Amino acid sequence: MKKSTTLLPSLLLGLVIAFSNSGDAEAKEMDSNSKHATTHSNKSTAKHSPATKKVVVKNKKSVTAKSEKVALAPKDVKKSKSKTVVKSKKSKADGSIAKVAKNTPKTEKPIAHKFKPSTKIEREAQRKDRTREKLAKISRTGKVSQVAKYAAKPVIIAAAPIAAIASTRINKPVSIQQSSNTPFALSVESRAALVMNAVTGEVLYAKNTEQALPIASITKLMTVMVVLDAAQALDEPITITDDDVDRMRNTTSRLKVGTVLSRAELMLLALMSSENRAAHALARNYVGGTPAAIAAMNRKASSLGMANSRFFDATGLSSGNVATPKELASMVKASTTYPLIRRFSTTSEHALAISSNNIQQFHNTNYLVKSPDWEIGVSKTGFINEAGKCLVMQAKIKQTPVVIVLMDSMGKYTRIGDAQRVKKWLEAVPAG
């Protein structure tokens, strides 16, 4: 009995150990099976979804890259800041060098000091010079003058000492004389002026009358006088040719090359509308040609006592055509003895058949001839840049014929305003 009792516990212990060993083995087998299943499932998922694995890897790399950037950011910021500071310093230095280079004066060219006028006459002369420089490229029609159509042909330049004339105009002071018979003072804006009694020759008003100035188209009075003195046929047809085209100042004309007009019609256009081609054609068809006509003009001036007058062309485009106001008064007085000059120079307008199908209306350059308040016997205007606006007239004022000469007026209406002032001034003088 004792042996059986001692064997029972040992059997129970053995059974317990056996059961525990079998449980461990089963657990190991389960673990191994589960591991095999997971590895098999992982392989299958890897085969069926390779993109997810790559995405995971990329995400990991991006995370690591971001962490590296975050770790390196402070250093990079410091470096970039230092670089920008260096660049800004360099740019400031370059800017300062550039400013210094700009501010440094050029020693190669000397500094030209502008002339500052001290007197009223010098200021007026300087203002006129500036105005004439601006108008140097403007033709008498108001349009910008173009290059000459016939530029290949030589340009005629007057041989007069223009610079000497300009210097005398600037340097000489203003000289004004007024007759004692005129109690009221007269003030005109023209640089030179003269008012003379055409019957007695008494000078009623004189301003700078001793200076020889360019006379512009007033020249045409002398041109027509010498043509009439030559007693050429007035009805002779004359053709406008290429030689009549202005190549000195490139002025325009309504008389085209090939236009045929009579000598009388050309004289009318030269005096009334101041047509340059008409005046040039008259001189070109003078006996002996243009040189003979110009020589006759200078002889005529000498016979009239115009000692300071010079003529270099028949149109007045040459600034070498000069005369004093006193001499122009003598020329105007002489022109009143020609009935055609009195008629043509005071015609207000006239229509001419330039061709068979072209009739043009021409007008007088002095619109005072149309005024009922004026009784004008002879009239002629003129303008070139060197001469300014000019006007000569013989008119009756209070039944007395007077000669009015106005030269070198600056404004468009200055010469007309001066003529009106002269008329009012003479009308205000008491009779007797």
Mean pLDDT of 215-244: 97
pLDDT at 181 (0 to 100) = 77
Q: Name the fold adopted by 128-428.
A: Beta-lactamase (3.40.710)
Any bridge partners for residue 177, and if so which?
206
pLDDT the model gives residue 356: 78
- The rounded distance, in Å, linking the Cα atoms of 175 and 65 is 99
Which one is catalytic: 217, 253, 273, 379? 217
pLDDT at residue 7 is higher than 80: no
Q: Is residue 398 among the annotated active site residues?
A: no
- Listed residue (337, 347, 350, 284) closest to 315, CA to CA: 284
Sequence spans of domains, the chain: 128-428
What are the tokens at 291?
């040189």
pLDDT single digits (tens) 192-225: 999 999 999 999 999 999 889 999 999 999 999 9
274 in catalytic set: yes
Name the residue among 332, 244, 236, 344 with its Cα closest to residue 290.
Answer: 244
| Neighbouring C-beta atoms of residue 165, cutoff 10 Å | 17
- The rounded distance, in Å, linking the Cα atoms of 146 and 384 is 17
pLDDT on residue 281: 98
Quote the pLDDT of residue 122. 74
Average pLDDT over residues 167-194: 78
Please identify which of the residues 190, 253, 273, 274 carries the catalytic annotation. 274
Nearest to 175 by CA among 6, 387, 324: 324
Cα–Cα nearest to 218, from 373, 351, 409, 349 = 409
* Per-residue pLDDT tens digits for 362-398: 999 999 999 999 999 999 999 999 999 999 999 999 9
Annotation says 217 is catalytic:
yes
Note the pLDDT tens digit of each residue in 281-290.
999 999 999 9
**Cβ distance 219 to 262 under 8 Å?**
no
Identity of residue 120: K
Query: Which pairs with CB-CB distance under 8 Å and at least 24 residues apart come from 9-15?
Result: none
Predicted TM-score (pTM) of this structure = 0.63
How confident is the model at residue 177, as a pLDDT?
A: 87
Would you call 403 helix, strand, or coil by DSSP?
strand
Model confidence over 68-107: pLDDT tens digits?
A: 443 444 444 444 444 444 444 444 445 444 444 445 555 5
**What pLDDT score does 152 carry?**
36
Q: What percent of the chain has pLDDT over 90?
A: 53
Distance, CA of 174 to CA of 313 (rounded, Å): 29
pLDDT tens digits, one per residue of 297-352:
999 999 999 999 999 999 999 999 999 999 999 999 999 999 999 999 999 999 99
CA distances to 94, 130, 131, 259, 317 from 174, rounded to whole Å, are 59, 20, 20, 46, 26
Share of the chain above pLDDT 70, in %: 62
Residue 174 pLDDT grade (very low, low, confident, very high; cuts 50, 70, 90):
confident
Residue 348, SS3 per DSSP:
coil
